[in-house]
Each structure stands twice: as structure tokens, then as C-alpha cells.
A and B are shown apart, each in its own frame.
Chain A
Amino acid sequence: MSEMRRVTAICNGTVVDHIPAGKALQVMQMLRVDIGRSNPISLVMNVPSGKAGRKDVLKIEDRELTQEELDRLALIAPNASVAIIRNYSVAEKRQIELGSELVNIARCSFWNCITQNSREPLPHKLRVISADPLDLRCSYCGRSQSIEELAESIL
């Protein structure tokens, strides 16, 4: 629990723990909590962790992330643990779930995919071929997706 000494406990909000070391900024980007909001966010990176050696932790105050928002994390932090905090206690624990298809979470990164035309109205869909190692393919063009590139294509 050494990271708990680095930032204070939050009263209400969401704690995302066991993020792979160094990925917290990407997680913020994927959760869209990095821009246009005024609620306090605490972030610690590369703290010692019994499970993974090193980990990142994110504490977002005054905002309870929905399951749909959390499932976006399956792309880069599938084993993160999530706690919803109310009045300084854990009110709910949530699991991140990787379904069989990610709908409107990220845009296919292939330059010549039909979905690159932003006016095309059908949803962006990525099929999960394998969860570990993570292999995602666009449901339209069939291209394998680079997970690093996908983080840049979050919708």
C-alpha cells in the first residue's frame, strides 16, 4: 500500500489501480478525463507493486466512471482494478471486460479502411481475435491493429 502514502485518499470518485507501469497517461487519454474537466485527478507512476513489480495508479475525484467507459481500458490495462469511492469507502468494485467486439471505442488505424471517411455513419467495430496476447482486427477491413496506434485513435 505504499502508493497510498504518496497521494491522499479521495472522498468520492474512482480509483483505477494496477495500471501497467508507464501507461497512466494513456489511460487518462482513453478515459477522456485529461481535457476539458475541472475535477481533481491524482496520478502516480512506477510505484512498487507486489503483483507486477511496478504499477501506475489513477484517482479521479467526484466522478464515477461507467462500465462502458472502463471497458475501453481493456485495450491497454485489462488487469487494472477499479473501485468506486463514496464517502472515503469502497462502494463498488468493477472489473474491466473485454467482450468479443469493441464498438465505437477506437477507430481502425489502417489508412485505407472504409471507416477513415469520418462522414460514414456506421459504428467503428473491432473484433477480438485473441485476448492474450491481445489481437484486434477491424470488423470491416480485417486489418490487425497496433495497440499503440489504437490509443491515438480512441473515439
Chain B
Amino acid sequence: MSDLITMDDLSNDEILEILDSAERLVPVAKGDVYAPLLQGKVLGNLFFENSTRTRMSFESAMKRLGGEVVNLSSVGSSVAKGETLYDTMQMVDGYSDIAVIRHPRQGAAQYSADAIGIPVLNAGDGAGNHPTQTMLDLFTIRESHGTIDGLNVVLVGDLRYGRTTHSLSHALVRFGAKLTLVSPDSLRMPDEIVSDLKSHGSEVVETEDMAGSIAEADVIYMTRIQKERFPDEDEYTKVAGIYKMTADDLAGAKGGMIVMHPLPRVDEIDPSVDSTKHAKYFEQAFNGVPTRMALLCRSLGVEVPKEVGQ
């Protein structure tokens, strides 16, 4: 039984083992093979903030593995009546075997894990962390490049509030990545994170120039400028739409370079990129299912067999 709150909860070996398990679970995720590894288990899906892919892929992952899902959305529940997170979690502890939580407040996932006994998976806490997204990102990178070691990765957009880039960058430097952080000055990666990244000995470059970072990249990870995280709308207006990638921008890119995005996108990736060999964001979204299957199994102490479905 184990929580996943930040990428620090996983060693490099554990990350690779989970990616291996996820790979074996792909036929189950596609519905080609039925493997009821989590039959009889109940997942409490707690989304205090909007979600499309994360909530659906967790639900799909649990159901494909024969488990059940109970959902809570904060609208119309006791949360809207002013219940504390602590009290809500006590209820979830009684109703399910594992909890997935997304919450607008940073630290909510760790707080929940401290409040209850069942495993808690962090599906995004404010501008904090999003480690299950990172696992599917790493899965996607390994699927394309055959490795997650020593790659040249460019992260673009909202690096200040973007929890996906916070978790992903922490994981990548542990595998020797060279990171280029592309953002407007007001959306720079927080200093404490940059300092943590550099302490791993990796090369970390900060710039506002996306075009100049494309040629050397193995991975370009685009993110949306998140209007909902800005305390001030004027600040949002100043930087909205600042990065827009088109197919033409990728003319000088390496052949194997992949473009990723946690989605949803607004206008930072033009639809002209979708039909290029570089676009990987829709596969990335599917990869949420096998990866989250592997994470659910790990946290519930269920081993993924070497030959799934045999």
C-alpha cells in the first residue's frame, strides 16, 4: 500500500518497473484482453477541480481491470456545504480501497494521505504536482525514444503554475536530461524548483525563445497558459497566446523529435502540427490508461503478471 504524492515517492528503479508494467497492460487498456486484476476493489475518484482526461482515464483504468469506481465532484456535495477536506477524506476512507484526488489547493494530496489509511494518488494539487501525468509522459517519451535517459527536453509555456512541468522536470533530471525552460519572465519556473533541478547536476537553461530551442530538442513539451491560475486577469492578458507552434516551425527539428502536451490546448499548438510525425499528444492522452492501471496495481499491492491475460 503506497501513496503517490510527488515524484520523490518513486525511485528511478520503481519508475522503470511501473513503465514496464504499463507496457504489459496496453492490450488491457485497449480492451483487447480482459485481466480483472483489481476485481472487488473500489476506487474513490475525488475531483474538487475540473478534469477530463485524468478522471476518465483513471475510471477507464479501474474498470478495465475489473474494479469499481465511486465518484465525488465538489459541486452539489457536502464540500459545497463547507465540509473540511479532512472530514471528506474520512468518508472516502470508508467507501473505497484507494483514492485519487485533484484539488485546487496545493498540498491537498499530502494532507489527504496524512488524514486517512488507504493509498492516495495525487491527480493534481493546485500549481503543485501531478505525478501520474508525469508517469504517462515518461511512458510516451520511452515509447518514442526507447529510453528516458539523457534526453534534450524543452518545456514551453506556463512553467510557474504548470504542475505537469513541475513533476516532469523533477523526474527527467534524475535521468540525466538536459532541460530548456521556455517561458515569459512572469511565468518562469519557481526558483526553488530550478534550484532543485540544478542540484541534480543536470544542465538547465532558462529562455524566452522557443524557436531557437527546437533544432536540438528530442522532446518539446508544450503547455497551456492557465487562465484559472492567475490571481490577476491583467497579468494573464499580457502573456496569453505568447507561444504558438505551427508545422512550419518544425522544419528544422530532428526527425525523431516529439511534441507533447498534457491537453487541453488552446492555441499553443496549431492543428497543422497534428498531422506531422512529431505530434504525440493524442497517443500521450491514451497512455494515461495503461500507466494509471500500473499505478493502481502498485498502490494496491497487486503484481502485474509477466504475461498479462494468460
Contacts and interface: CB of A to CB of B under 8 A. Distances in A.
A114 B114 contact: no
Contacts of A143: 106, 192
A117 interface: yes
A120 B85 contact: yes
Contacts, number: 59
A81 interface: no
B106 A113 contact: yes
Contacts of B85: 114, 117, 120
Interface size classification for chain A: 20 to 34
A138 B111 contact: no
A25 interface: no
Interface of B: 6, 84-86, 103-108, 110-111, 114-115, 125-129, 192
Q: Is the interface of A mostly helix, strand, loop or mixed?
A: loop
A141 interface: yes
A14 interface: no
A143 B192 CA distance: 8
A121 B83 CA distance: 12
Contact of A112 (B115, B127, B129): B127
Given A120-B84, A137-B192, A141-B106, 8 more contacts: A116-B105, A117-B85, A117-B105, A120-B111, A122-B86, A138-B107, A140-B108, A141-B126
B128 A141 contact: yes
Contact of A122 (B6, B105, B114, B128): B114
Given A112-B127, A113-B105, A139 B110 contact: yes
A114 B103 contact: yes
Contact of B105 (A112, A119, A139, A144): A112
A63 to B, nearest CB: 34
